Chains A and B, each alone.
Chain A
Amino acid sequence: MNALPNELPVELERALRVLDAEAARRAERVDADAVASRVLARLRAEAEPAPLPRLLPGRWALPSLPGWVRVTAAAAMVVVVAGSVVLRMIRPGGDRAVAVSVVAVALDSLSAKELESLLLVTAEVRPVATAVEPVSGSWDGLSESQLRAVLQAVQQVQGETL
């Protein structure tokens, strides 16, 4: 005990001395080495960065999409590529065909949102692609909407040419 003399009444000082001796005896049981190693281990554990939750299971966000989206994306790519080829045939050097080709090349790195935008573009291209199909086949087999698409495509080309 470190109390200064004359600061405590004798009786109080004596009782405190007895009490402190008991506290010191109990304190001796605490192993300072063990405390140090446990404290340092806790500090080390806390300092380690917590593992980040894996938001992306693979290289791309694409594999986390449902299967039907992936199939649709593949189909969209086929349509886009076919559409770009057809557009080149109809309008050689056209800006739109070139732009579509670029989109197709970069398809495997698209996010879900970009893929969605691509599907919208595909929706625009599909009638043209369908319309050109009869060139190598029979006109009799075309539906009304396909024939309308062909007509629209021809009118568009004629309008741009004139």
Chain B
Amino acid sequence: MGAPSVAVADDGELIAQYRRGDERAAAELVQRHTAPLARFLAIQGAPDDELDDLVQDAFFKAFRGLASFRGGSAFRTWLLAIGANLLKDRRRQWKKRVVVELTVDVPDRSGDPASEAEAGWTAERLSEEIGRLARLQREVFLLRAQQGLDYGEIARGLGISEGSARVHFHHAVKRLKEKIR
């Protein structure tokens, strides 16, 4: 006989518990979604010393605005969209600052220094080009390619149609492919 299975509350249940005043539910939501949110912000060039604050602000804004969360998209998608908005606002403040440069550490799988250097160069170039994409293209691309969300979920999270999400993704891929060639 195996160990008794522990029921894991989904995000919707945790949100309901938090709304009833259970702070542990909010803490659990933070535990679940901090890493994906931080990763989503980091790949878009959020500086190291701002990443923590951005994550915190995104959660704070999300919990404070739970009344407006209709559940049309997943909590994570909604949270990522909030994070992307915050990042956009902060970028204006960072204009005069040096934008973080991702120093890409490429794992040495091939043992070929030339290949390693090339991969690093391409990744850095990709980072720059992702930053140059139009906002919706960038967000759709990363939600799809980095976070692995389906188009329907992306569309609901960003408030666009599924067809539009596909088009944005297509254009983003086309542009990035050209730029890193």
Contact = CB atoms under 8 A, between A and B. Distances in A.
Given A20-B146, A22-B105, A36-B26, A30 B63 contact: no
B102 A29 contact: no
A109 to B, nearest CB: 42
A35 B52 contact: yes
Interface stretch (A11-19, A72-80, A112-120): A11-19
A27 B122 contact: no
Interface stretch (A39-47, A83-91, A96-104, A126-134): A39-47
Interface stretch (B9-17, B32-40, B85-93, B157-165): B32-40
Given A12-B126, A18-B123, A39 B104 contact: no
Chain A at the B interface: mostly helix, strand, loop or mixed? helix
Contact of B30 (A21, A28, A29, A32): A32
Interface residues of A, number: 38
B147 interface: yes
A31 B59 CA distance: 13
B38 A26 contact: yes
B177 A11 contact: yes
B18 to A, nearest CB: 9
Interface of B: 23, 26-27, 30-31, 34-35, 38-43, 48, 51-52, 55-56, 59-60, 63-64, 102-107, 119-120, 122-123, 125-127, 130, 144-148, 173, 176-177, 180-181
Interface of A: 1-4, 7-9, 11-12, 14-16, 18-40, 42-43, 46
